[in-house]
């Protein structure tokens, strides 16, 4: 599980995707109802997540005042693993517990592989 900070209509949002996947910015924009969304620059990470190491952002944007959108692919996953703010620490928890704590919007947010139908 990987958290990506995006900007849409001048506001930051958190998009949570599988660690191996790539964000589809067009799908994110459509989900948010905006014309365009893009991955935020490093400044957005360092300003918002001051207590976290770069590359170790936990997927709890709600604790930082960010709306959270999670990829629908997680609906079929029982357990998720994500960084705990440090590169040397991670958390493993049931996906349903993550949803209960964060209350994210679930949507299709990742690029489809050309080999998939």
CATH code at position 49: 3.90.960.10
Q: Point out which residues pair with 13 in neighbouring strands.
A: 6
Specify if 114 maps to a domain: no
Phi, psi torsion values for 116, nearest 5 degrees: -90, 150
Specify if 52 maps to a domain: yes
Number of domains in the chain: 1
Q: Report helix, strand and coil shares of the chain as percent, to nearest 5.
A: 25, 30, 40
Specify if 117 maps to a domain: no
pLDDT in tens, 34-61: 999 999 988 878 888 889 988 899 999 9
Q: Which domain holds residue 8?
A: 2-107
Specify if 80 maps to a domain: yes
Those residues with Cβ within 8 angstroms of residue 49's Cβ, 6 or more apart along the chain or in another chain: 57, 64, 85
Specify if 89 maps to a domain: yes
pTM over the 0.75 mark = yes
Specify if 112 maps to a domain: no
Phi, psi torsion values for 104, nearest 5 degrees: -75, 160
Query: Average of pLDDT values for 91-100?
Result: 97
Average pLDDT, the chain: 92
- Please identify which residue in the block is written with the tokens 């990742």: 110
């Amino acid at each position: 599980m990987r958290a990506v900070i995006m900007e849409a209509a001048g506001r930051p949002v958190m998009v949570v995707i599988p660690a191996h996947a790539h964000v589809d910015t067009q799908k994110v924009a459509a989900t948010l109802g905006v014309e365009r969304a893009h991955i935020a620059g490093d400044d957005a990470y360092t300003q918002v997540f001051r207590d976290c190491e770069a590359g170790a952002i936990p997927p709890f944007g709600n604790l930082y005042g960010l709306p959270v959108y999670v990829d629908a692919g997680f609906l079929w996953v029982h357990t998720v693993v994500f960084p705990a703010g440090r590169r040397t620490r991670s958390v493993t928890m049931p996906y349903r517990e993550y949803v209960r704590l964060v209350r994210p919007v679930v949507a299709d947010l990742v690029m489809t592989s050309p080999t998939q139908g």
